[in-house]
Amino acid sequence: MIHPLPDIMLEPLVRAGLLEDLGRAGDLTTDAVIVDGDAHVSAVLAARQDGVIAGLDMARLSFALMDPRIVFEPHVRDGQAVTRGAHLATVRGPARGILSGERVGLNFLSHLSGIATATARLVELVRPYRASITCTRKTMPGLRAIQKYAVRAGGGSNHRFGLDDAILIKDNHIAFAGGITPAVQRARQAAGHLVRIELEVDTLAQLREGLETGDVDVFLLDNMPPDVLREAVRIVDGRAVTEASGGITPQTVTAVAQAGVDLISLGWLTHTVRVMDIGLDYQP
């Protein structure tokens, strides 16, 4: 079960989206077409394809901020798989508020459900193996918390939330520090006792050098083919967590999982995933 994020985290994002959409003059179309300002309607949020839902609270807030009289009644929960045609929620209340809040609510709901759906597909593909699916910091600015929430809704796990979560020594850190050993040693000297150190390696030679330091908690095995990943897992032999990353797709993820890694991280889960098709349908 996915634990929802509190409204205090979500409301600023929804409010910003609505303000962007309303611009300087408000909803010209709705104000012109809906003559009766007190007209009440009922509509449903409907799935137009199979998928896994995430972002219902974002949709709820998009209507509530437009008009607190709008009633949002969910019929499913975040993290739940649905089929095409499923009614996700019923929205009832003033027509103007519903129409003006529709696009922002659908944008958030469709985007986050797309992330959850893609994550769930990968989780299912690697289910027979030990590997967990995780995201990265390759998120859209300002949306990291909710995009990572959507990954959890799809059954995945989260990598770092920011630069202050853990130490991740990448290729440029190694280059600027003059090598793997000095980079890891400096990191260990600076890290607190609760801060983990992850080292990105491209070759088995780099992996062996990192292991020799005795200070690496996680190895990020970057762009390694499955046979090299398998050898890397053998070399590590349980002394650290292994994470495969780089260019992994639904077509290759099973082979990567079969190599025995602990984690598989995919940046595209949050930066290029396709939205789930969800619409708002009027109910007479």
State the catalytic residues.
Answer: 103, 138, 170, 200, 222
- φ and ψ at 66, to 5 degrees? -75, -40
Strands 51-52 and 81-82, how do they pair? antiparallel
Q: Please, is 200 exposed, middle or buried when counting C-beta atoms within 10 Å of its C-beta (0-12, 13-18, 19+)?
A: buried
Tokens standing for residue 129: 């193996």
Tokens standing for residue 55: 């972002």
Q: Are 219 and 207 in contact (CB under 8 A)?
A: yes
Which three-class secondary structure string do you get for 40-100? EEEEEEEECCCEECCCHHHHHHHHHHHCCCCEEEECCCCCCEECCCCEEEEEEEEHHHHHH
Q: How far apart are CA 158 and CA 134, in angstroms?
A: 5
